[in-house]
């Protein structure tokens, strides 16, 4: 029992350090916002690649966990060297804030799932780790600069290859979702689709549309919200709807199997090795958005379905489980219709375990 208490105490100490990172003073880290706002008063920046810090790796289905080849804006030969296929879909994956400064384990899983769905696709992973591995407010401020990098990259490669804009799909997790939104807002043509996987909440809940993911950033913006517990601007994930369709699994506040007691117990039982997973205390519900999206990519025949409904109470009474008149859509697929008025809905998932525990319901807001 004594050994277990020591593990719990150590876990809480590390957790305290993680939360301290989130609570850093933003006032001393606003330089990135000022700099980018000044630069965007002109359009010359779009063709100036000298200040790009982010890297763009074209990963393959055979090596989804390794950066084997980088496409460098301004160097057309790298497009051919990386075997980029201009005739197919291009997915651009953007990670979020990181404590470790390394890619998280979900990245190769998502890459593999995208190739599973579209084997001929190009899956590009954006590496902005050096900026994402700062105190949270600093990394949050950097999203504008990273979004600018991504906008330059997308515009450049589109001009080089005359890529159809309807084949470009950005997928961003946490801070990466806002990076995707900013990039979509800055490109000189509408990107086809942006998928936001639990966009970050702190410093973004009340921000303007130019600083966050919003429905005007692409022709279609779909969002999964999985960690909205807490007061506005204090929850890990953004609470307000920001896309054409906003999905809130299990109400969006918290996900099954992610409670502190269960997570700490699992960490304690693994001893010292378990401490490597301390960030799960913060990101378990947050990261669930990714695993839900991956699940829908891999299980085409049993995808989670969103049903349009007038109210939460109406759904709970079982009165909205119908696909008549385009009243339902599937996660990971584009909506079958654009809804002008917002309405509260729910999503009923299949019974197979997706990550830790069974998902019974997902609530969504459709616009």
Q: Is 174 helix (H, G, I), strand (E, B) or coil?
A: coil
Long-range residue pairs from 360-364, CB within 8 A, at least 24 positions apart, any chain: 360/250, 361/250, 362/247, 362/248, 362/249, 362/250, 362/292, 362/304, 362/306, 362/331, 363/247, 363/248, 363/249, 363/250, 363/251, 363/252, 363/312, 363/315, 364/245, 364/246, 364/247, 364/248, 364/306
Closest CA to 215 of 189, 237, 195, 201: 195
Among 198, 217, 222, 246, the active-site one is 198
Q: How far apart are CA 29 and CA 135, in angstroms?
A: 9
Q: Is 304 a catalytic residue?
A: no
Q: Is 233 a catalytic residue?
A: no
Among 169, 286, 291, 355, the active-site one is 286
Q: Is 198 a catalytic residue?
A: yes
Among 112, 139, 174, 296, the active-site one is 174
Residues marked as catalytic? 174, 198, 286
């Amino acid at each position: 029992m004594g050994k277990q208490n020591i593990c719990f105490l150590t876990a809480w100490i590390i957790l305290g350090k993680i939360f301290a990172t989130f609570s850093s003073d933003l006032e001393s880290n606003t330089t990135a916002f000022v700099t980018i706002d000044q630069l965007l008063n002109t359009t010359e920046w779009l063709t100036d690649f000298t200040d790009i810090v982010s890297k763009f790796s074209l990963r393959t289905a055979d090596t989804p966990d390794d950066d084997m080849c980088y496409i460098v804006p301004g160097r057309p030969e790298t497009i051919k060297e990386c075997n980029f296929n201009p005739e197919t879909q291009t997915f651009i994956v953007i990670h979020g804030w990181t404590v470790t400064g390394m890619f998280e384990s979900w990245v190769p899983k998502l890459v593999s799932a995208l190739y599973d769905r579209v084997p001929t696709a190009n899956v590009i992973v954006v590496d902005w780790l050096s900026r994402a591995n700062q105190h949270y407010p600093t990394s949050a401020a950097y999203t504008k600069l990273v979004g600018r990098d991504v906008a330059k990259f997308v515009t450049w490669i589109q001009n080089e290859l005359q890529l159809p804009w309807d084949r470009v799909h950005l997928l961003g997790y946490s801070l990466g979702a806002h990076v995707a939104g900013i990039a979509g807002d800055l490109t000189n043509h509408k990107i086809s689709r942006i998928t936001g996987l639990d966009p970050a909440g702190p410093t973004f809940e009340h921000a303007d549309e130019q600083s966050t993911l919003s429905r005007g950033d692409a022709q279609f913006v779909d969002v999964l919200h999985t960690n909205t517990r807490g007061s506005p601007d204090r929850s890990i994930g953004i609470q307000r709807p920001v896309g054409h369709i906003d999905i809130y699994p299990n109400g969006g506040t918290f996900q099954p199997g992610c409670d502190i007691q269960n997570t700490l117990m699992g960490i304690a039982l693994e001893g010292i090795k378990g401490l490597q997973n301390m960030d799960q205390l913060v990101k378990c519900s947050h990261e669930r958005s990714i695993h839900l999206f991956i699940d829908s990519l891999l299980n085409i025949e049993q995808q989670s379905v969103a049903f349009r409904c007038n109210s939460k109470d109406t759904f709970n009474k079982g009165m909205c489980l119908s696909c008549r008149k385009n009243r339902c859509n599937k996660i990971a697929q584009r909506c079958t219709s654009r809804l002008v008025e917002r309405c509260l809905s729910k999503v009923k998932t299949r019974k197979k375990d997706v990550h830790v525990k069974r998902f019974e319901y997902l609530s969504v807001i459709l616009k």
